[in-house]
Homo-oligomer: A and B are copies of this chain.
Amino acid sequence: MKDIFFLLFIALGASATAAPTQINCLSWRLAVETNNIPDWKTVPPQCKSYVSEYMTGQQYRDDCNAVVDAAIEYAKTLNVSKDGKDLWVFNIDETTLSNVPYYARPTVGFGATKPNVLKFESWIKEGKSPAVPGALRLYQTLLGLGIKPIFITDTKEEFKQVRMDNLKKVGYHSWFKFICKGKNDSSIYSEHSGNWKTQKRAELVKAGYRLVGNLGGWGDIIVDFLMRTYKMPNPMYFF
C-alpha cells in the first residue's frame, strides 16, 4: 500500500513539473523547411537529439543531394548565352560550407541553445568548414555549362579572406563575385525591399547580369522575384 502511494506521488510529481510539450520533430522540421514556421530562434529542446541525428545522418545528405539534383536538372535546361552574364547565386553557411562541426559542440547543441556570435566567429576564423553534401556537384556543373558562380554571404568583411581560403580548400576554386555583408546591410526582411541580399541581387540585375538560379536558405530566397529558387535543408536556424 505504501508502495502504491509512493508510485502515485512519483507520477503526480512528474506531471506537475514543467514537462515539455509533446512535439513531432519531423513535423516541426517540415513546417520550418516550408516556412510555415518562420523567423524562429532556437531548435525546440525536445528536438535537439532529433536534429543532431538528422544533421549527422544519411537523411540530411540525401536531402541535400535531392535539392542539388533538381537544381542541376533545371540548370541543364537553360540557354546559356555567350556574353558571360549568366550568374548563379550561392549562399555560404549550410549551403556551400557546412558548420555542422561547430553546431555539434555540446554548448551549441545543434541550434538548441541561444546563438553565440563570438564563439561562432572564432569557429569561422579556424577556416575548417567542410563542403555541404552535393553543393560542389552543382558548382562544378554550372562551371561546365558556362554559368558563373557568385557568393552572397552574411559573412562580415573581416572574415572575407579566411572564408575564401576555406572555399578554395574544399574545392570551390573560382567565382565571379564574392559579396560580403557590410556594416549597414540588414538581414531583416522588409515587405517592399526584401533584405540586403535582395538589394544586392537587384543591383546585379540592374547592371545587366542575369541571375539564373539561387541556392540558399530562407534568408536568401524569401521574396526573390527575379529567378527560380532552391533551398538547402537546415533545421538548425532560420536565416
Contact = CB atoms under 8 A, between A and B. Distances in A.
Interface of A: 24, 26-28, 30-31, 33-38, 59, 62-63, 65-67, 70-71, 223, 225, 228-231, 233
Contacts of A28: 66
A223 B228 CA distance: 11
Contact of A34 (B27, B59, B65, B231): B231
Given A30-B233, A33-B34, 17 more contacts: A24-B59, A24-B66, A26-B62, A27-B59, A27-B63, A27-B66, A30-B63, A30-B66, A31-B63, A34-B34, A35-B229, A36-B67, A36-B71, A36-B230, A36-B231, A37-B66, A37-B70
A184 to B, nearest CB: 26
A51 B123 CA distance: 41
Contacts of A70: 31, 36-37
Contacts of A31: 63, 66-67, 70
A30 B30 contact: yes
A32 to B, nearest CB: 9
Nearest to A63: B27
Nearest to A58: B24
Contacts of A229: 35
A65 B30 contact: no
Given A34-B33, A230-B36, A26 B67 contact: no
A178 B187 CA distance: 38
Contacts of A62: 24, 26-27
Given A34-B34, A36-B67, A59 B26 contact: yes
